[in-house]
């Protein structure tokens, strides 16, 4: 391997035969070396290839400032997530997770802890991702000799969700979660109930909220089809659930300036009816 650029003592950039940049990591591989020098492949621990030029540039900027152990821990966690979830995840997680781990550990060592006020809802909305995040937290604490609190697992969960959605905007992922939180709270207080989070109807309800929130934030309005007659029937048959949807419709309109279509009201009514009454019947 011939060095194209040196980022720090542990990270260099090389180019393959097609001119594609690769980020090459290894302890001390660039010590006293410069562009044009050789790197022994036996000393290389990891090679990162991000074909997207913008993502590649951002990753290089981050790894140049992050010590190698943090990159190694992030890589181990990402391998674990890919293996256990079986999902295709975006390469952006190499950027976001490496940076997050570095900042979280530094905060902890400085005696600063950040409370995750959304952690309860994160656990409910993303149970599988949260379990992966708990395993990630164990890896971080063990390998970097710290004791980060469970709140950090909530933040890591959002990074996993973000990567699984192939979404480069963490802010949007947080906003999606907040909208899901707001709507589920309206339903919960309208009926004065606690959700059965193990119910298949709850899973379907939360999945519906996730896609609804994505549409809201991307301003993709579902156009009404020929569902008017069906909605009229549902209004009568599921009167309490539709009354809840009316509250949600008013809230979304007031806060987000987004008008729920009749089709959205229809399917949201059906999901609420099922999550409230079907789950209770199962119990």
Does residue 270 sit in the same domain as residue 182? yes
Does residue 156 sit in the same domain as residue 101? yes
pLDDT band at 242 (very low <50, low <70, confident <90, very high): very high
Q: What is the average per-residue pLDDT within 38-49? A: 78
pLDDT band at 220 (very low <50, low <70, confident <90, very high): low
pLDDT at residue 189 is higher than 90: yes
Q: What is the CATH number of the domain that holds 11?
A: 2.30.24.10
Please report, rounded to a whole number, the percentage of residues in the chain having pLDDT higher than 70. 94
Cα–Cα separations (whole angstroms), residue 198 to 35, 135, 202, 279: 56, 21, 7, 9
**CA-CA-CA-CA dihedral for 173, 111, 135, 85, to nearest 10:** 20
Residue 224 DSSP symbol: P
Q: Give the domain range for residue 195.
A: 178-282
Does residue 110 sit in the same domain as residue 130? yes
Residue 182 pLDDT = 96
Domain total of the chain? 3
Residue 48's SS3 state is strand
Per-residue pLDDT reduced to its tens digit, 93-119: 888 898 899 999 999 999 988 889 899
Residue 188's SS3 state is helix
pTM: 0.77
d(CA 11, CA 7): 5
pLDDT at residue 56 is higher than 80: no
Per-residue pLDDT reduced to its tens digit, 128-184: 999 999 999 999 999 999 999 999 999 999 999 988 876 667 888 999 999 999 999
d(CA 210, CA 262): 18
pLDDT band at 283 (very low <50, low <70, confident <90, very high): very low
Tally of CB atoms within 10 A around 238: 19
Does residue 183 sit in the same domain as residue 253? yes
Does residue 138 sit in the same domain as residue 188? no
Does residue 131 sit in the same domain as residue 46? no
pLDDT band at 8 (very low <50, low <70, confident <90, very high): confident
Residue 281 pLDDT = 54
Residue 150 pLDDT = 94
Residue 41 pLDDT = 80
Does residue 50 sit in the same domain as residue 112? no
Per-residue pLDDT reduced to its tens digit, 255-267: 999 999 888 999 9
pLDDT at residue 225 is higher than 60: no
pLDDT band at 227 (very low <50, low <70, confident <90, very high): low
pLDDT at residue 228 is higher than 70: no
Question: In the β-sheet with 21-25, what is the strand arrangement from edge to edge?
Answer: 5-8, 11-15, 21-25, 46-48
Residue 21 pLDDT = 81
pLDDT at residue 282 is higher than 60: no
- Determine, yes or no, domain membership for 133: yes
Higher-pLDDT residue of 277 and 50 is 277
Q: What is the CATH number of the domain that holds 109?
A: 1.10.1790.10
* Domain end residue (candidates: 168, 198, 229): 168
Q: Which of 7, 2, 11 is nearest to 36 (CA)?
A: 2
Does residue 15 sit in the same domain as residue 99? no
User: For all residues of the chain together, what is the average pLDDT?
Assistant: 87
């Amino acid at each position: 391997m011939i060095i194209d650029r040196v980022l720090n003592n542990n990270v260099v950039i090389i180019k393959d035969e097609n001119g594609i940049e690769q980020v090459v990591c290894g302890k001390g591989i660039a010590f006293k070396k410069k562009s044009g020098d050789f790197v022994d492949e036996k000393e290389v621990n990891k090679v990162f290839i991000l074909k997207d030029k913008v993502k590649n540039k951002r990753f290089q900027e981050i790894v140049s400032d992050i010590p190698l152990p943090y990159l190694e821990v992030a890589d181990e966690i990402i391998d674990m997530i890919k293996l256990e979830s079986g999902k295709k995840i975006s390469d952006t997680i190499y950027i976001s997770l490496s940076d997050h781990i570095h900042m979280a550990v530094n905060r902890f060592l400085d005696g600063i802890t950040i409370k995750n006020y959304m952690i309860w809802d994160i656990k409910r909305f993303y149970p599988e991702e949260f379990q992966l995040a708990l395993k990630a937290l164990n890896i971080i604490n063990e390998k970097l000799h710290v004791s980060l609190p469970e709140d950090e697992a909530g933040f890591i969960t959002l990074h996993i969700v973000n990567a699984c959605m192939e979404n480069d905007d963490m802010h949007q992922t947080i906003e999606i979660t907040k909208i899901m939180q707001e709507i589920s709270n309206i339903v919960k207080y309208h009926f004065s109930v606690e959700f059965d989070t193990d119910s298949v109807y709850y899973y379907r309800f939360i999945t519906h909220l996730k896609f609804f929130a994505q549409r809201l934030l991307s301003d993709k309005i579902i156009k009404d089809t020929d569902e008017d007659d069906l909605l009229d029937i549902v209004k009568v048959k599921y009167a309490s659930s539709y009354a809840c949807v009316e509250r949600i419709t008013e809230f979304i309109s007031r806060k987000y300036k987004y008008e729920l279509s009749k089709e959205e009201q229809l399917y949201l009514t059906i999901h609420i009816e099922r999550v409230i009454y079907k789950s209770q019947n199962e119990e």
